Structure 1
Amino acid sequence: MVFERDRVTALTAPARGLGVQEGMRRGGVQLLAPEAHLHERDTLREDTTLQQAALALLQYTPQVTLAAEACILLEVGASLRLFGGIRALCRKIRVTIARLGLSAILSCAVTATGAWLLARYGYVRTLGPTSLQRRLDRLPVVLLSAARPHLEWLHGLGCRQLGQVRRLPRAGLQRRCGKDLLLMLDRAYGAAPEVHDWIVAPPSFQARVELPDRIEQTDVLAAYAQGLLAQLAGWLAARQLAIKKLRLWLEHERGRQAVPPTELQVALSVPAWQEDHLHTLVKEKLARSLLPAPAIALGLAADELESRQAASEMLFPEPGGSAEDHQRLLELLVARLGADKVQQAAPRADHRPEIANRWCSVMQSAASLPAPLGSDPARLPPRPLWLLQEPLPLRVQQHKPFYRSALEFTSPPERIEAGWWEGRPLTRDYFTARDAGHAYYWIFRQWRGGEWSDEEPQWFLHGLFG
């Protein structure tokens, strides 16, 4: 139960079953339910939670505002087609609210005040003005905040529903109750315009959540991180940004046994803004991390951001997924295995095979990679798929290189001369060779002192064909 000024303001169904009611004092509650958990109302924390929920809901519409009595209003008329209709949109909003650790009563109507009244009454969804008027007429007058100071007078007239109040003479109702009551009724029924102060996303994002206990299970921490990521997704949508790197930190014990926070960096090869994808990466990152102590708080910040590029849909989608799907797969592998375990080829402008390519992380941007050789690959002789890390010396028998058996040449020589600009000149003749078992190899003859030197050339095995 929640108390405000020593009186009950909120309670659960089991507490109500024991006889506890709203407005009851603390002493009476302790007599009826001595084992109940009692909490003091924290209005500052409630306001902060509403602001966080409103920020997360910005991913569905840019027009979000806070209303009285813990209500959030969303103008979703322009978002229905994008999210597949009102039913699908409501389902998505419910999921987002649940990820924040909250519960909500959703209602929708053609007017904001009407939706606010229907939500306070219960889950009601109406999409037309006629059905809205019919439903509003049956609502109790007590839901109308402007009518509460005059409830006794209205009940004395037999007006207990909004429809009955609307049938009263407007002039007399205005003299008795003021303009606010009529204005609220007109806004609810769509007879008067509504003006809202839409919330604006802050220029930077940083969120933090206090954990209910000392937690060291990474899957539980990932569940709390999802609430932060929901806020991040709303902020990114409102600012039309995509994230390139996010920072997650876990706060540990304070005081004499203080442990410094644990920071985790999640880098993306391609900027993203999808909440589910970001949560998958964070979950994998947490699963691979060793915590020095249980966490008592969790924080999230957006470090590197870029402008969001609008997705271009194709008339006939390519099989196997889009380029964005491939990038998400690579980012998932990096989060699960580590950036040093998922690598990409980085060709270099050099004819020496052992230098012509190096391996680097897939997280390295294409702009930082060296330029490849400008020759046409179709005009080059065949290259083996498997290149040895170090060339393997071969012995010579009867003037032929030998590897398991005598090797027969199946291609003309390919001359490679390079390294002279580094002071290490290199002269090689590459051949494709075949052994007695019809396995193909890539071998070369290296001239130590040049082709016209008196020294005998040496043979090496450099690669294997499939």
Structure 2
Amino acid sequence: LGLEADPRTWLKIPEPLKLHRELTFWAEDSKQLFKLGQMLIEQACAQLKARRLGLMAMSFQLHHRDRGPISLISLGTQALCDQANRWCALWEEHLAKTVLRDPVLAITLCGGFAQDMPVASDCLFPGPALNRQAQTALFERLQARLGRSSMFHIVSIADHRPELAQKLFELDASKAFVDKTADHNKIVSMSGHEQTMGLPRPIWFFDQAIPITERAKRPYWQGPLALVAGPERIETAWWEGEWFARDYFIAADQDHVLYWIYRSRPSTSEQNSYQWFIQGCFG
């Protein structure tokens, strides 16, 4: 002790990125504000690249004449980003739908806390990585234009009941596939999960299964239906106090349109007979 050097690395908390610019004129339209914001974004991204940092969110504060309430415009990406062109595209989309109530005299860019950018090598030839980057940038612009609550993606749920086997999530949840109101143990990744299925599933699901009749021991819906595949038996959810027992079939009508139908099977304690339902249609 005390004979050898013992250097310690100090914990450095990154400083929040903040840039401010006073204007020498009154900015009254979005074109003027876009150019001013573009300069701040380019300056901020230059600082981020020099320090190998990235941001997932930044905001602009618009200071109005006569010291009125500050207007706030928030930008966000789905991954750490230090590219000025992507931030400028989002800035342009948000600014296009912003109504200025008063002229702007100053603008402030607040970048929050930056994080270390992952090191990635450039691709010599186009590949999946470049396609994902372009797709992510497109989704970000669509969210900025349409709103975050307007874009969803489908996530598979570990449930054999067809009406509960999928769930819509906001696009922001694409990394973890986690929803605060959902059962986290049931959520599975779309990319790493291949559901084992018996019969093919239709593209179009009805909001509610439609009860159909039976004639001459054949299901009947706008005409007699011929069973061409099946049955696929699904029995589940008895531990939840719900009897779920169905036999699924693929049926064809006289015009060779394929439907996804099932026959419900009553429990042993129930005296009612089975009932046919149509739940979807194949393309």
Matches within 5 A, 1:137-152: none
Which residue is 1:465 aligned to? 282
Q: Per the alignment, in what secondary structure is the counterpart of residue 140 of structure 2?
A: helix
The question of whether the paired residues in 2 share the 8 Å contact of 1:248 and 1:299 is answered with yes
1:421 aligns with 2:239: yes
1:342 aligns with 2:174: no
Instruction: Go from structure 1 to structure 2 and tell me whether the alpha carbon gap of 1:208 and 1:421 turns closer, same or farther (over 3 Å shift).
Output: farther
Displacement after TM superposition at 1:339 (Å): 1.5
Q: Per the alignment, in what secondary structure is the counterpart of residue 163 of structure 2?
A: coil
CA RMSD of aligned residues (A): 2.5
* Deviation digits for residues 54-98 of structure 1 (CA, Å, limit 9, x no counterpart): xxxxxxxxxxxxxxxxxxxxxxxxxxxxxxxxxxxxxxxxxxxxx
Instruction: Go from structure 1 to structure 2 and tell me whether the alpha carbon gap of 1:440 and 1:207 turns closer, same or farther (over 3 Å shift).
Output: same
Which residue is 1:313 aligned to? 122
CA distance in 2, matches of 1:219, 1:311: 34
CA distance in 2, matches of 1:291, 1:404: 57
Which residue is 1:408 aligned to? 226
The question of whether the paired residues in 2 share the 8 Å contact of 1:407 and 1:434 is answered with yes
CA distance in 2, matches of 1:425, 1:290: 55
Displacement after TM superposition at 1:390 (Å): 2.4
The question of whether the paired residues in 2 share the 8 Å contact of 1:349 and 1:372 is answered with no
* Deviation digits for residues 412-446 of structure 1 (CA, Å, limit 9, x no counterpart): 11111222232222111111111111111111122
Which residue is 1:355 aligned to? 164
Aligned pair partner of 2:216 in 398, 402, 415: 398
The aligned length equals 261
| Residue segments in structure 2 that go unaligned for 5+ positions in a row | 1-13, 179-186
Q: Per the alignment, in what secondary structure is the counterpart of residue 429 of structure 1?
A: strand
CA distance in 2, matches of 1:323, 1:431: 38
Matches within 5 A, 1:288-303: 288-303=97-112
* Deviation digits for residues 320-341 of structure 1 (CA, Å, limit 9, x no counterpart): 9432222111111111222222
Farther-moved stretch of structure 1 (331-340 vs 226-235): 331-340
* Deviation digits for residues 236-258 of structure 1 (CA, Å, limit 9, x no counterpart): 11221111111122222335xx3
1:245 aligns with 2:57: yes
Amino acid at match of 1:417: E
* Deviation digits for residues 121-150 of structure 1 (CA, Å, limit 9, x no counterpart): xxxxxxxxxxxxxxxxxxxxxxxxxxxxxx
Aligned pair partner of 1:234 in 46, 50, 64: 46
Which of structures 1 and 2 has the larger relative contact order (alpha carbons within 8 angstroms, sep 6+)? 2
Displacement after TM superposition at 1:381 (Å): 2.2
Amino acid at match of 1:254: D
Displacement after TM superposition at 1:368 (Å): 4.0
CA distance in 2, matches of 1:439, 1:451: 34
Instruction: Go from structure 1 to structure 2 and tell me whether the alpha carbon gap of 1:391 and 1:291 turns closer, same or farther (over 3 Å shift).
Output: farther
CA distance in 1, matches of 2:28, 2:202: 49
| Residue segments in structure 1 that go unaligned for 5+ positions in a row | 1-201
Displacement after TM superposition at 1:404 (Å): 2.4
Q: Where is the strand percentage greater, Structure 1 or Structure 2? A: 2
Instruction: Go from structure 1 to structure 2 and tell me whether the alpha carbon gap of 1:315 and 1:287 turns closer, same or farther (over 3 Å shift).
Output: closer
Q: Give the number of the structure whose alpha-carbon radius of gyration is greater.
A: 1
Q: Per the alignment, in what secondary structure is the counterpart of residue 271 of structure 2?
A: coil
Q: Per the alignment, in what secondary structure is the counterpart of residue 367 of structure 1?
A: coil
Point out 4+ residue stretches in structure 1 off by more than 6 angstroms. Answer: none
Amino acid at match of 2:62: L
1:208 aligns with 2:20: yes
Which residue is 2:271 aligned to? 454
